Amino acid sequence: MNTLKTAFLLALLTGLFLVIGQLLGGRTGIQIAFIFALIMNFGSYYFSDKIALSMYKAQEVDKMQAPELYSILERLTQKANLPMPRVYIIPQDAPNAFATGRNPDHAAVAVTQGALNLLSQEELMGVLGHELGHVKHRDILISTIASTIAGTIMFVSSMIKWAALFGGLSRDDDDSSPLVLIAMAIFAPIAATLIQLAISRSREYDADKAGAIYSGNPLYLARALEKLENYSKNIQLKGSPATENMFIVNPFKGKSFMALFSTHPSTEERIARLKKMVIS
């Protein structure tokens, strides 16, 4: 169901992109914006693991250094039919985790020291299963595609607004009204952002389901999410809010002013869905 929702949202985002292209009458501006966004986002896609791990000073560990963590991941990757990812520990007390890497063959899973201290082995299995779900579903690629389209829409909308400001919207080549273009320039970026965030939230539900399946019990992840949510309110992660979509729970929730603009569904809803999996 969430896969269909993601496909629909991506189609909606693409449709919004095409509408702007139509209103611009095929100008080269939208082509330039798309190429610019493509280079920027796919550049970050190829180097996402290095950027994120470096930002949080994550330290790579092997089986000798973190035997329990490594052993759990080995079992889960076998169940998920995935290659073993690189394993990292983030030296922070805030409990959290994320996965990164452009595909399953170049994946990395990072867990904070706080999460290792807080979670039981079963709860850690649920969390790591969730992160492997992101790897399995290639969510880094999906979010990159969404970011590229949304980024292009925002770039072109900004061009339109600057053109309007300096009187560059007189159009003799088509019937598009300058007022329509200005309205689109104002509302299109908002719509693109909302769709992009909805895609991110949808991917979290699918990763939760994967975590429940790989770990063998939905309640492992449900209990982990409850702990992570409660503790993250008291122990702030040191980092950038721009990376909040990477983590299993939003570590910068205090800096988000509306649930509508959140990269994550509510933790309460996620826990409720996991508990329903037990009942069904």
H or E segment and range at residue 98: strand 97-100
H or E segment and range at residue 41: helix 28-46
Q: Is 74 a catalytic residue?
A: no
72 neighbors 218 (Cβ within 8 angstroms):
no
Question: What is the distance between the alpha carbons of residues 273 and 242, in angstroms, rounded to a whole number?
Answer: 27
Give me the catalytic one of 123, 131, 204, 244. 131
41 neighbors 102 (Cβ within 8 angstroms):
no
Burial level of 55, CB count in 10 A (0-12/13-18/19+)? middle
What is the secondary structure of 257-277 as a DSSP string? --GGG-SS--HHHHHHHHHHH
Active site residues: 131
